[in-house]
Chains A and B, each alone.
Chain A
Amino acid sequence: MSFREINSKMVEATVLPGQRLFSQRGAMLAYQGDVSFTPSIQGGQGGLMSMIGRRVAGEATPLMTVEGSGTVFFGHGGHHVHVITLSGDTLYVEADRLLAFEGTLRQGTMFLGSQGGVMGMVRGQVTGQGLFTTTLQGRGSVAVMAHGGVFEIPITPQRPVHVDPQAYVAHHGDVRNKLSTALGWRDMVGRGSGEAFQLELSGSGTVYVQASEEKL
């Protein structure tokens, strides 16, 4: 595994020649050895079309490539950091939550409307994801930022998981998500419980939830 958690807010990454890391710009805390940081104009992987896609989708977070040989320490803004290791499946995460990820992962952009049509777009608005989200696919590890600690909840076909949209961080696996609403007349007159919208995730996989409802 490429990332090692030093403490709850800091990860260590080993950079070897020929391997590349992507990280959010300005998130390096310290490094040892001979490492170079280059701003990535394209904001990640793929060619020019991927860059345009990300710009249009609003998923173009400023990234930099980290190359060389040595050890790099990452952390950003006092946020908690969680390392997720992917073995061939796809992680769905907002681009601005990405602290760093390995170059072996394939980065893409997904239209939320493609998962459930109009309801998918509404869901994106409620969770703050917008209309698009970032996907990372392949084998490798990702360091994801969250406000407050992160915990994993497994999703099994028999037990769907309901998550507050503001506390949702990321998910991977074969998961369908839908927005379940519990709107009543109380919400209309402003006396609601504040939990009118919930994200229901079903299928099999894992969802990552932060211990706070504050966004990054």
Chain B
Amino acid sequence: MSAYGTPGGPVVHDPMTLPADDNVNAYTFCVELKAGQWFLQKGKMIAYYGAIEFNGIGHGRLDRLVRTSFHSPLHASDWVVAEGSGKMLLADRAFDVNSYDLDDGNLTIRAGNLLAFQPSLALKQSIVPGFLTLIGTGKFVAASNGPVVFMEPPLRVDPQALVGWADCPSPCHHYDHGYLTGVMGGLRAMTGLGGASGEEHQFEFVGAGTVLLQSSEALMAEQPTGAVPSAPGVPGGGGAAPGGHGPQASGAPRLPGQLGDLQRRFGL
């Protein structure tokens, strides 16, 4: 599949030789449309053959489609629907691109990594902020910095390396700072000497499923997932529960050895 070693220069594609719903190379994916529709993120189409029409979501005619397979109306402006017949090439800033098949499954993915998906899948906001969940049967295309590696729980993942997870329960935070306890650890925490290992915080996965990991800690640009309704009990919704517990939810987690803020101590 590499074009570097071919005699006579690079591989030249035409509509016949382009693959159908497969990778052209590690960085480009080709979608074949046969009077069908695909959702794609704005600006990720680099070329197409045939008669394809790109419509922003919010077009009256697409209302039914959006209602059945697009469930976060508040960020619909970041997506377009490609419609028609032909072949369409997708790419994103020379990041590695791959397609994934879901068979009556569910997969949660970082919003910035998702490029495109078939309308047979339903896209929903995950309750984990910044992530989107795809449910159903179909194909989707995602980008990653470096090839994606699949792993099985139990596993702890650096937050920047996580691309998504499938069929397993949502992750939880894991804090690992054993070296900040004891006399030396106390000194370290008080003075800041010795630094941190940068690996105090991971996402922990348990249970059965698959975790998707990119091979680098360089994050892709975040994409907005849309706001969630501001209501009590909705994570990230900003709706503070009555009773004054609101402010505690914000801010960095408190490490042992750190003094609690005085306001909280005196109950102010």
Which A residues lie at the B interface, using CB under 8 A?
6-10, 25-32, 36-39, 41, 62, 64, 73, 75-79
Q: Are A39 and B216 in contact (CB under 8 A)?
A: no
Contacts of B195 in A (CB 8 A): 25, 39, 41, 62
A80 to B58, CA, bound (A): 42
A26 to B217, CA, bound (A): 9
Q: Are A37 and B146 in contact (CB under 8 A)?
A: no
B155 is an interface residue with CB less than 8 A from chain A: yes
8 new A-B contacts, CB < 8 A, other than A26-B199, A29-B213, A64-B197, are: A7-B147, A9-B146, A9-B216, A27-B217, A29-B216, A73-B149, A75-B215, A79-B216
Q: Are B146 and A30 in contact (CB under 8 A)?
A: no
Contacts known (A39-B195, A76-B216, A76-B217); A30 close to B161, Cβ less than 8 A: yes
Q: Are B197 and A78 in contact (CB under 8 A)?
A: no
Contacting A7 at CB < 8 Å: which of B149, B178, B179?
A: B149
Contacts known (A39-B195, A39-B197); A30 close to B157, Cβ less than 8 A: yes
A64 to B158, CA, bound (A): 15
B196 is an interface residue with CB less than 8 A from chain A: yes
Chain B count of residues within 8 A CB distance of the other chain: 28
Shortest Cβ distance from A54 into chain B, in angstroms? Answer: 14
Q: Are B149 and A64 in contact (CB under 8 A)?
A: no
Contacts known (A9-B215, A75-B217, A77-B218); A36 close to B178, Cβ less than 8 A: yes
Number of A-B contacts (CB under 8 A): 95
Contacts of B178 in A (CB 8 A): 36, 38
Q: Are B145 and A78 in contact (CB under 8 A)?
A: yes
Q: Are A30 and B155 in contact (CB under 8 A)?
A: yes
Q: Are B147 and A29 in contact (CB under 8 A)?
A: no
Shortest Cβ distance from A22 into chain B, in angstroms? Answer: 11
B46 is an interface residue with CB less than 8 A from chain A: no
| Contact flags B171-212 to A (C-beta < 8 A → 1, else 0) | 000001011000000000000011111110010000000010
Tell me the nearest residue of chain B to A81, going by C-beta.
Answer: B215
Q: Are B198 and A10 in contact (CB under 8 A)?
A: no
Q: Are A64 and B199 in contact (CB under 8 A)?
A: yes
The 17 sampled A-B contact pairs (Cβ below 8 Å) are A7-B215, A9-B146, A25-B199, A29-B157, A29-B158, A29-B216, A30-B157, A30-B202, A32-B154, A36-B179, A38-B178, A41-B193, A76-B216, A77-B216, A78-B146, A78-B215, A78-B216
Shortest Cβ distance from A174 into chain B, in angstroms? Answer: 34
A39 to B193, CA, bound (A): 10
Contacting A29 at CB < 8 Å: which of B179, B193, B217?
A: B217
Q: Are B149 and A6 in contact (CB under 8 A)?
A: yes
Q: Are A75 and B146 in contact (CB under 8 A)?
A: yes
Contacts of B127 in A (CB 8 A): none
Contacts known (A9-B215, A36-B178, A78-B216); A30 close to B151, Cβ less than 8 A: yes
Contacts of B158 in A (CB 8 A): 28-30
B156 is an interface residue with CB less than 8 A from chain A: yes
A9 to B144, CA, bound (A): 12
Contacts of A27 in B (CB 8 A): 217
Shortest Cβ distance from B137 into chain A, in angstroms? Answer: 28
Contacts of B198 in A (CB 8 A): 25-26, 37, 39, 62, 64
Contacts known (A28-B158, A30-B156, A36-B176); A9 close to B213, Cβ less than 8 A: no
Q: Are A6 and B217 in contact (CB under 8 A)?
A: no
Tell me the nearest residue of chain A to B195, going by C-beta.
Answer: A39
Contacting B215 at CB < 8 Å: which of A29, A36, A38, A39?
A: A29
A62 to B211, CA, bound (A): 29
Tell me the nearest residue of chain A to B156, going by C-beta.
Answer: A31
Shortest Cβ distance from B194 into chain A, in angstroms? Answer: 4
Contacts of A7 in B (CB 8 A): 146-147, 149, 215
Q: Are B197 and A38 in contact (CB under 8 A)?
A: yes
Contacts known (A9-B215, A9-B216, A41-B194); A29 close to B161, Cβ less than 8 A: yes
A28 to B213, CA, bound (A): 12
A77 to B196, CA, bound (A): 18
